[in-house]
Structure 1
Amino acid sequence: MFSNNKTANAVRIALAFGAASTAAFTSTAVSAQEQTEEAKDKVERIEVTGSRIKRTDIETASPVQITSAEDIKLSGFTKIEDLMNSLPQIEASETSFQANGASGNATLDLRGLGAQRTLVLVNGRRLQPGGIYNAGAADVNQIPSALVERVEVLTGGGSATYGADAVAGVVNFVMKKDFEGMELTLGGSGYQHDNDNKYIQGLMDKRKFTYPTGSSGIDGKTGNIDLTMGGSLGSKGHVTAYATWRQVDELRQEARDYSACALNNAGTACGGSGNAVVPNFYFYPVVNGATDYDKEQFWTLNSSSQFIPSVGNIYNYAPINHFMRPDERYTLGAFANYEISEYVRPYLEVSFMNDRTVAQIAESGTFYAEEYHLDINNPLFSDAQRGQFRTAFGNDVKTVAAYIGKRNTEGGPRQSDLEHTSFRVVTGTEGIINDTWSYDLSFQHGVTTSGVAYLNDFFGPRIAQALSAEGADPCTGSCIPYQVFKYQGITGAQASNLTGTAVMKGVTSETILNGFASGELGFTLPSHSMPVAAVIGVEHRENKFERTADEVFAKGLLLGQGGQTPSIEGGYTVKEVFGELSIPLVEEVGIFKDVTLGLGGRYSDYSTSGSEPTYKAELDWTPIDDWKIRASYNRAVRAPNVGELFAPQTNGLWGGTDGCSGATPKYSAAQCALTGVTAAQYGKISASPAGQYNGVFGGNPDLKPEVADTMSFGIVGQPLDNLNLSIDYWDIQLDEVIGNVSAQLTVDQCATTGAAAFCNNIKRAPTGSLWLGNAGFVQATNINLASRHWRGIDVSSNYEQEVFGGKLTVKMIGSINMKKEYESLPGNDSATYDCSGNVSIDCFAQPKWRHTLSASYTTGDWWSATAKWRYYGQVDYEGTTDQLIPDGISAQSYLDLVGSFDLNDHVSLLAGVNNVLDKEPPMVGLTLSTNANTVSGYYDTLGRYLHASVTVRF
């Protein structure tokens, strides 16, 4: 439809160049004479993330960072989340490096504001949320990396253009839709590490634990096959189709020395779980039906099955846990378009994905989950043990209460078998209305079905029966007595008889009707020659989420689940009208060579929370040739998703520390009294060896939408002929935040301030504990919190130079995080904290400065080479517990090398090594670790990453 011209070619070059800051390739870099010549012809316009108004350049008033297909290919990653997490603006969210609590999804977290606040698009349209544990964020497993033409990241609010959820920004995957021919890529990758961490090896030597040494060989292998086909439908249309397969091998924590034992909270010793191979017991006498917790005995067994004080009897659960989950994924899809006439050009997008992964964690256990009342004449006790009870509790004792910590090593590890199937179809038509206006009408439907089978976990009701506990059914028939009070008395048959399986299925769907028209209004301002452009549109969106849990999940009958996982059913609809204006204000007046104002607005009516407006204003100013100043303001909203609204309130676990536990508590007796600790209990409350405590979590149907104000100010320019750069300051103020006051913050703030807003949410068990049994917990259900305030600067630059007959290209992307402030409750300054450059129980390890710097050299003939430096700045530690990092996490640098070779016109080869120097991830203690003693999935987690692929074109 549009003529091919220099500006259009410049846009394509810029996109291939992989940077949104390529000022040299935008129309601002074209001479006045050339602009005059081009004005005679129609100019090719493209739609860039952040606006539906099509432009002649990629430099929008809102900063957009572009990652090209070449960047994706050179990274060697087949998991798109691994590639995206390497960008400085993105924090690691759900990845394949999670096992305990894994959802099976892969999500993106822009700015660290939460994956639910990052809107993911495919070709400018929403990617539906999906996952049995995830009702709000999109699963990017659906994105085949081989089909991505480029990724556009809008690092600012986008709700006025795209609707809710674009609080932190937008990630738009632009797919290849005009592929010609056939291309087959076969790839393989794996990890290699030299196990020589003397620090943790010394800790394991003290505990007589085993660990790997020397080279790991190639492990954690991945294989992939990507097939792409495309061709024209005469001169009227085009079809591109693809099919991909990927398989990832499992890798357990036993494969690396730095993860082969679970560190304690301080990081100074190999810790572990009090649910040990040889069981631990908390015993109390029961007097007149009441448990006397003041006479607590903490015992284990010796080889003669006698009770002895338990000292250091913990289980190293780390080795059997997955470090990286096994995974198998298939994707299929097609993109088609056809021109019936210039007025009607229908299009179709279809995609399918099936993904199955298994998350394995250490064996189940009794987990001190229930208090069992046992008659001392119970046949499971020996006469010697009965004598010990009478000595400890008095000759009149008839019943003892017991909390049992026994790891089911006889029965094998727990596994969560997760499967997701996603289907998405987009169909519609576009075309011209007249010489200056065009339209786009579309229907979109996406469905994700998911299921989980949780295997080999202890089934709670059977434990009491097998112990012949008071109130339980008699242990008869198929019941096998649980010989937990006999040293090594448990057989495989006993263990398997006590395990159960829980099953859950879920369906997430999103249906969207969208229509908009864009064009020129037919008039100009007196001060500018270009006409005012506009977009006007409507959208109807319906989201549904249904999760059906069996009785085992719903009632939390598996002891290793940490609580209940109930069924959920709910949904909402939203009706919207939106519009945009692009108003050219001034041109060729002194330093106002070109000034354009952009305005946008959207009015949304939610069936659950009512109406909410969003709007934006943007200014694009060219003061001199090759330089641009841009500023934008966005009002963004995020309505609560189905899970946040309708999830029942249930028990669960949170990781951290109880500052009122242990023989020498962190807080004073007076402070702990504020949290519910009695004077008699102070200094006698046991700490959880696994750093896990009880909480109550869940939804709230009265939630209101979040509201965010996003501002940015930047400059884009070309200071040298071969150098282009952009610098953008951004500020995000988020109010009415949907979330919960973290359980850790609740305990700490109650102890230090005594504020009822915190203390009323703490309920201690009769023992004073927050983890033994289920009676003690911290309430942490969803509410609209106070605010969050983020601020920073993004920097991007590109340099190109002819060197030795070839071309050297240097690119840098960096981000300065200046502020990352959480205000948990309005007006409570003591509960406000800043995570910028800090790591703590409440703060993700976000450095103040992070960048990637790459240098590529190509001869323009048959080979090219690229080196990349990925840098994470130092992170300070906010706390006193973790002695492994008293001064924080030091700066981390990684070097990646890759070479690409065109063997002939049909065959090319790519090979590379990421983290060439085999740098280990920084180690942290238990409460700061996301998995395997580190911040997994963020820092390079497994050592060197070797990858290679061969591509054949037909």
Structure 2
Amino acid sequence: MIDGRTRIWLLAACLFVAPTSTGILAQDADDPDSVRIEYVFDELTVTGSRIRGEAEGSTAPVVILAREAIRSRGLASVGDVLQSLTVQSNATNTQANYQGDGATRISLRGLGAHRTLVLVNGRRFVPGGLGADAAVDLNALPSTVIERIEVLKDGASAVYGSDAVGGVVNVITRSDLDGVEFEAYQGVSGAGDGAAIDLAFSAGLERDQSNILFSAGYHDQRPVWTYERDFSESDKSYNWGRNDGSFTTSGSSATPEGHIVDRSGAAGNDAWKAVNTAAGDEAGDYFLDPSMGWRPFNYAGNSLDGTGDLYNYQPENYIFTPQKRYTTFLGGTHRLSDRLRPFFEVVYTNRQSEQKLAPTPLFTIEEGTPISADNRYNAFGRDFVDVRRRFVEAGNRIFNQDLSTFRIVLGLRSRLASFDSDVFYAFGRTSGTTVNRGRFIRSNLARALGPDEECTGNCVPLDILHGAGTITPEMLAYIQYTGVARGYTQQKILQWNLTGDLAEFTHGPLSVAAGVSSRWESGAYTPDPITASGNTTGFRTEATVGGFSVRALYGETRLPVYHGNGIGFHLNAAGRVFHYDTFGAGLTYETGAGVEFPLGLTLRATYSAAFRAPGIAEMFLGANDVFPLVSDPCSAVDEAGNPRELTSQQRRNCAAAGIPSGFRDTRAQLRAREGGSTDLEPERAGMITAGMRYRPGFAPDLQLDLNYYRNRIEDEIGSLPAGVILSNCYSQDNPTSCGQIVRDTDTKLISHIVQTNTNVGETETAGLDLEAAYSGNTSWGILSARLEANLLFQYDQFIPAAGGTEVIKARGYYDVGVFPRWRHSAALDLKWRRASAGLTWEYVGGFVECEDNDCKGLYRSDVVETPAYRDVESNSVLGLRGTYRLFTGAGGTVLTLGMNNVFNQPPAVIFNGLLGTSDFSTYDYMGRYLFLRVSHFL
């Protein structure tokens, strides 16, 4: 028997010494007052294995998020809940405005969303996104039907197939609802914005081991603008030279007023000479001051604080993007007999999301659209190659997605002797459109800025030299366009599984599972015709279309080796053979062992050989033109036209390629063409996990887990950087990659560099997951606590470099994302009769960021220069919630009132971060948030 004082010490140890798992709320069906919060690990799940039975002896580390733990968080999206796990990092979400698409994804171990497998009831879910995608959009999962979520923190390709590299997320839907449930959620930030409404209706029937569940929901998330938060109202530039914590406001040199960079020094007429005279010695860079006329451009800061002329684009962006979702779910199981039970699932989700960016900037030198001396709005009598203008008259750039996800599963469970079998067919499809507004037609822009004599017909000359407000609707109508892109991802699965006990031995049954499956995936992304042709102020993007099929056979077994005297020892093994119609056949496997000791101690270890097959977009990606900052190594002059001495190796290799001596190319950017490749092989990975579970007999309400992991991914799919391709061909003893460089046969100028996907690069990561939970009675009520933490030992990326590879160490550095040494999530709950209260604490440790986001000089001896660096502070966010349960003859009502980010903690300041001078994938941009959830059961 444990007294109250001992319980308090155990609770403190849970919160501040050891770390956690996630909670399950259990309730006695006959006593509505018996609600008890219990935190468990993997007693109720077999995720990571298809062998039937409890996972008490499982060798896989699994975390469970129960329904009540999910609903009490005050988050309307299941994706937001999953992103709070310490095992997850650096995945996109609805805070992603620039390059976002409205999706929320999960990246276990920070290895990428495409390396995390998402299942629903143990079956693969269809990918989401704009088309030809490989990762699931968690927003497509209706949260109201979720019973629990099981997160496997290990590779499981032998059991589930491709993509289960970082881990597996298995969403289990409800099957025990017998009645009607209404739920309403309302939230709003402390600033009065970012309001969210979530409404849901569910009805279920459970009779004689048969059940059916219907649910429908509506979600409306309102936006938050960057100017509404102090940390994001202005772009910032850190003073790396002084490195004393100071910074200046920053922004874009494309301003609404206009900006001329004189690159030719042409004389022009008297009006231009007057501008030169007024500018004095600083001639060459001019800003159109509304009160002074043309004067030297001031790069010292932006117009927000008056320190400079740079355009502050931050206020014109969302920092939290809006979306609406409509979801429906219908599923059930029918007991035909003791041996036959058909089942089905139908899911439909429609998402309408939006991103808004600042008005389009025009850099005429990048678009190849100079302003002619003969244009009616050019009063200076000379051509201008480099004019920069922000088209505020056109309004924001707007991107809208209208995507629908449909999935149906039809299956049959059966009992064959002592074996359980299930066979199912699943069809899923995500499709829709993306509409973009605010970009320009390049050819029309060139005519509108060119000589008047060439601007005929419907052409309207464009005025960008006389300040903001001079661009008329007629001018915009001629150069603007609305682009509509269409895409889809489709998935079909036919699978049969069998599990049972093959034989009975002295120490227990030999349990096995086996199955066969076929999967077909196809997808396409078709951009609008103007974007596909490259006749746009954005980059050219060709269509992506393709697909693949795979057939697989898997098997697994659990062998009890010894059981007696309080000690148990078992072995696990699994294997999968597969054949893809794209790259051929392969094999993956997994082995594991577990030992149970007296006094509640269990040791376990696994080794997994996992794989990830190339996705549709990686194989069939349409050609995209990009312009990296690289120059021709064979050029005898640099970008400024100054002589450049080639190395002896460069001279030999360039001559062998037919480049004449004295060849000149002053371009600072070269065209590179990205694209997919059907020659890709699968990524390979090896994962080791070893850990312990401790449930002491003297404290049965205390649970401790400790798991070590090490992952290594080889043959990662990506593309060689353009600079590496050029160096490999012209600067090395054994030239390679020369076939990826295309030159004009006459001029010898580089036409483009081919950057198709290939298998290149590696990632290694290692760390320690610590989990602890405690729940027990005290004089105050039922007190429960949990702590889930991650101690990161290593996260290294090996990327191609000239003549070899180079390592980027991410642990404790921001070069590739947020990978702190320590992060944790903790919770404390107290339940007294029908009321309960809870406290949550999310902590992300600090790290280092460096100038130019390149910290290699801090840990590599071969890098001569040590970069300037600064410490990014740790970040703590606290949440509070209170719940009251009311039961009457009219049913039960649960009221939850809470506040996330109680102290309005801003995100950590990261000057190398994107919008908001931070990292949207890790930190809370919303700030203090109040919420109310009301659930009523009949």
C-alpha spacing 1:174/1:911, structure 2 compared with 1 (3 Å): same
Out of 222, 229, 235, the position equivalent to 2:203 is: 229
Distance across 1 between alignment mates of 2:283 and 2:786: 64
Change (3 A) 1:75 1:654: farther
Deviation at 1:608, TM superposition (A): 0.3
Instruction: Encode CA deviations 1:231-277: one digit per residue, 9 max, x unaligned.
Output: 12x42511011111000111111111221112236582221112211
- What fraction of aligned residue pairs are identical, expressed as a percent? 25
> How far 1:889 moved relative to its partner?
1.1
| Aligned-partner Cα distance in 1 for 2:644–2:936 | 71
Q: Displacement, 1:776? A: 10
Where do 1:107-506 residues align within 5 Å? 107-132=105-130, 135-192=133-190, 217-232=191-206, 234-264=207-237, 268-285=247-264, 297-301=284-288, 308-312=295-299, 313-368=309-364, 369-373=366-370, 375-382=372-379, 385-386=380-381, 389=382, 400=383, 402-434=385-417, 436-469=418-451, 474-488=454-468, 489-506=470-487
- Which position in structure 2 is the counterpart of 1:575? 551
Give the SS at the match of 1:597.
strand
* Partner deviation per Cα, 1:310-357 (whole Å, 9 max, x = no partner): 333421111011111110001001111001112210000110000001
2:789: which partner in 1? 814
Structure 1 position 830, deviation (Å): 6.2
SS at match of 1:714: strand
1:715 partnered with 2:692: yes
C-alpha deviation, 1:378, in angstroms: 3.5
Aligned 8 A contact 2:132 2:545 in 1: no
Q: The residue matched to 1:824 in structure 2 has which SS?
A: strand
Give the 3-state SS of the residue equivalent to 1:89 in structure 2: coil
Deviations 1:87-135 (A, max 9, x none): 1010131211111222222211111111000000001000111222551
1:764-803 maps to which residues of 2 (within 5 A)?
781-803=756-778
State the one-letter code of the partner of 1:518: T
Query: How far apart are the structure 2 equivalents of 1:159 and 1:881?
Result: 34
Q: Which moved more, 1:98-107 or 1:710-719?
A: 98-107
Whichever residue aligns with residue 712 of structure 1, its letter is T
Post-superposition CA distance 1:288-324 (Å, at most 9, x none): xxxxxxx994444455997654333421111011111
Distance, in Å, in 1 between the alignment partners of 2:465 and 2:795 is 51
Q: 1:808 to 1:17 in 2, by over 3 A?
A: closer
Q: Which residue of 1 aligns with 2:879?
A: 896
Secondary structure of the structure 2 residue equivalent to 1:571 = strand
Q: Greater CA deviation, 752-761 or 719-728?
A: 752-761
Deviation at 1:813, TM superposition (A): 0.5
- Asked if the contact 1:616–1:632 (Cα under 8 Å) also holds between the matched residues in 2, the reply is yes
Deviations 1:441-470 (CA, angstroms, capped at 9, x unpaired) = 000010111211111222222111111259
1:507 and 2:488 are equivalent in the alignment: yes
Name which of 867, 871, 894 aligns with 2:843. 871
Local SS of the residue matching 2:869: coil
Report the 3-state secondary structure (helix = DSSP H, G, I; strand = E; otherwise coil) of the residue aligned with 2:93.
Answer: coil
Q: Residue 19 of structure 1 contacts residue 67 of structure 1 at CA under 8 Å; is this kept in 2?
A: no
CA contact (8 A) 2:812 2:847 kept: yes
1:71, 1:132 → 2: CA distance? 31
Q: Which residue of 2 aligns with 1:210?
A: none
Secondary structure of 2:503's counterpart equals coil
Aligned residues: 839
Contact 1:155 1:170 in 2 (8 A): yes
State the partner residue of 1:533. Answer: 511
2-side partners of 1:91 and 1:757: how far apart? 36
After TM superposition, the structure 1 = structure 2 runs for residues 847-858 of structure 1, keeping only pairs within 5 Å, are: 847-858=820-831
Read off the aligned partner of 1:406 and give its amino acid letter: R
Give 1:648-797 correspondences, 5 Å limit: 648-652=622-626, 696-719=673-696, 720-721=698-699, 722-741=701-720, 781-797=756-772
Q: Secondary structure at the match of 1:614?
A: strand
Supply the distance in 2 between the matched residues of 1:654 and 1:359 (Cα, whole angstroms). 26
Contact persistence 2:104–2:137 (CA under 8 A): yes
Residue by residue, what CA displacement relative to the aligned partner does 1:647-691 show, whole Å, maximum 9, x if unpaired?
02312478999xxxxx999xx998999999xxx9x9x9999xxxx
1:804 aligns with 2:782: no
- Residues of 2 paired with 1:869 and 1:260: CA distance? 27
Instruction: Please tell me whether the aligned partners of residues 75 and 83 of structure 1 are also in contact (alpha carbons under 8 angstroms).
Output: yes
Q: What SS does the corresponding residue of 2:896 show, helix, strand or coil? A: strand
C-alpha contact (below 8 Å) 2:374/2:451 kept by paired residues? no
Q: The residue matched to 1:108 in structure 2 has which SS?
A: coil
Cα separation, 2, equivalents of 1:672 and 1:305: 51
Q: Deviation at 1:696?
A: 4.1
Q: Deviations over 1:200-247 (max 9, x none)?
A: xxxxxxxxxxxxxxxxx3211001101111012x42511011111000
**Are the counterparts in 2 of residues 675 and 747 from structure 1 also a CA contact under 8 Å?**
no
CA distance in 2, matches of 1:576, 1:745: 38
2:861 matched to which residue of 1?
none
8 Å CA contact 1:281, 1:300 repeated in 2: yes
Distance 1:850 1:304, change over 3 A: closer
Q: CA deviation at 1:425?
A: 0.5
Q: Any residues of structure 2 matched to 1:68-83 within 5 Å, and which?
A: 68-83=66-81
> CA 1:374/1:67 → structure 2, altered by over 3 Å: closer, same or farther?
closer
Shift in Å, 1:567: 1.1
Report the AA paired with residue 920 of structure 1. P
- Using the TM superposition, name which of 914-923 and 256-265 deviates more: 256-265
8 Å Cα contact 1:272/1:316 also seen in 2: yes
Q: 1:823 aligns with which of 771, 780, 798?
A: 798
For residues 387-442 of structure 1, what are the alpha-carbon distances to aligned partners after superposition, in whole Å with 9 as ceiling and x for unaligned? xx5xxxxxxxxxx35133211101100100111100001111002101x2111100
Q: What amino acid sits opposite 1:897 in the alignment? A: L
Aligned AA (2:229):
R
Equivalent residues of 1:366, 1:458 under 8 A apart: no
Partner SS for 1:904: strand
Task: Tell me if the contact between 2:48 and 2:156 (Cα under 8 Å) persists in the aligned partners.
Answer: yes
When residues 314 and 479 of structure 1 are mapped into structure 2, their CA distance, relative to the original with a 3 A threshold, is same
Deviation at 1:882, TM superposition (A): 9.7
Q: Which runs of 5+ in 2 are unaligned?
A: 1-22, 28-34, 240-245, 267-281, 300-308, 632-637, 652-661, 856-866
Q: Does 1:598 align with 2:572?
A: yes
In structure 1, distance between residues paired with 2:630 and 2:822: 27
Among 560, 581, 589, the residue aligned to 1:607: 581
Judged with a 3 Å threshold, the aligned counterparts in structure 2 of structure 1 residues 698 and 902 are, in CA distance, closer, same or farther, namely same
1:725 partner letter: L
In 2, are the aligned partners of 1:501 and 1:552 still within 8 Å (CA)?
Answer: no
Which residue identity does 1:430 align to in structure 2? Answer: R
Q: Is the 8 A contact 1:880 1:886 kept in 2?
A: no
For residues 672 and 896 of structure 1, the distance between their equivalents in structure 2, rounded to whole angstroms, comes to 61
Deviation string for 1:873-927 (max 9, x for gaps)? 11122446799993321111111111111133422210111111111111222xx
Between the aligned partners of 2:247 and 2:786, the Cα distance in structure 1 is: 41
